[in-house]
Amino acid sequence: MDLLVVGLGNPGPEYEGTRHNIGAVAVELLVARHHGSLSGEKGLRARAGQIRIGDHVVLCAVPLTYMNESGLAVAPLVRRAGIEAPADGAAATSRLVIVHDELDLPSGRVKVKVGGGTAGNNGLKSVHAHLHTGDYLRVRIGIGKPPGRQPGADYVLKRPGKDEREALAVAAEVAADAVELIATAGVEAAMNRVNTAE
C-alpha cells in the first residue's frame, strides 16, 4: 500500500452536511472520482476501499467512530495498510494522510501540512493518542471561526448556509486534488500547488 488516506467526520445521518464532516466528504469524493467504493471490513472501525491513483495503490477510509474517537479507527487502518511506524516513526507516517476540518483557516481554504499540533481538533487529538505521534500528513479544509461567542463545538456540528456550503463543496474537490498530488508527485509538490493558491 503506497498511501493511507483517512477523512475524519462523525457517522450517521444527523451529522451529514455538518462542517465537522468535510474531511469525510473529501475522501468519499476522491474514492468516487477513481471509481472505488467504501465498505465495512471485519476488524476495522471504518468504511474502507482501495483505489489506484496513477501507479499508486491508495487505501481510503472514513471512520465509523465519532470524531473524538478517530484514533480507534486510524490505528487498525495503519496496520491494515502495512505502514506500522518504525522506531523513529518518520518514514512510515509520511504515508498517512488525514483529511480534516480546520477552524484556523478561512472557510473553503485548503492547506497541506506535515506534522504539527492538533489546533484543538478532537479527531486529531485521538489520532495522536493512538499513534503516539503527530508526524503524519494533513490536508486541512478551512471552516472558519465561529461567529461571536458561539462555542467551537456547536459551530463545527452545524450545517453551513448556502454560500459557505458551496465554498466547502469546492474545497472538498481541492482537498481531493491535494491527495492525488501527494500520491503522484509528493507532499512538497502538493504544498507548492495547494498552499499558494488563493
The residues carrying an active-site annotation are: 20
For 24-54, write each residue's pLDDT tens digit: 999 999 999 999 999 998 889 999 999 999 9
Strands (DSSP E) contained in the chain are: 3-7, 39-40, 46-53, 56-63, 96-102, 110-114, 137-142
Residue 155 has pLDDT above 80, yes or no: yes
Cα separation, 168 vs 172, in Å, equals 6
pLDDT at residue 198, rounded to an integer: 65
The reported pTM is 0.95
Q: Are strands 137-142 and 110-114 parallel, antiparallel or unpaired?
A: antiparallel
Q: Which domain holds residue 170?
A: 3-194
Pairing of strands 96-102, 137-142: parallel
Q: Is 152 exposed, middle or buried (0-12, 13-18, 19+ CB in 10 A)?
A: middle
Q: By three-state DSSP, how is residue 110 classified?
A: strand
- pLDDT tens digit sequence for 91-108: 446 799 999 999 999 999
Q: Is 11 helix (H, G, I), strand (E, B) or coil?
A: coil
Which CATH number belongs to the domain containing residue 171 in this structure?
3.40.50.1470
Give the chain's end-to-end CA distance (angstroms, integer).
33
pLDDT tens for residues 123-141?
A: 999 999 999 888 899 999 9
Cβ atoms of 63 and 5 within 8 Å: the answer is no
Check: CB of residue 101 under 8 Å from CB of residue 156. yes
If one counts the domains in the chain, the total is: 1
Please state, rounded to an integer, the average pLDDT across all residues of the chain.
Answer: 93
What 8-state DSSP symbol labels residue 160? P
Q: What is the pLDDT of residue 175?
A: 98
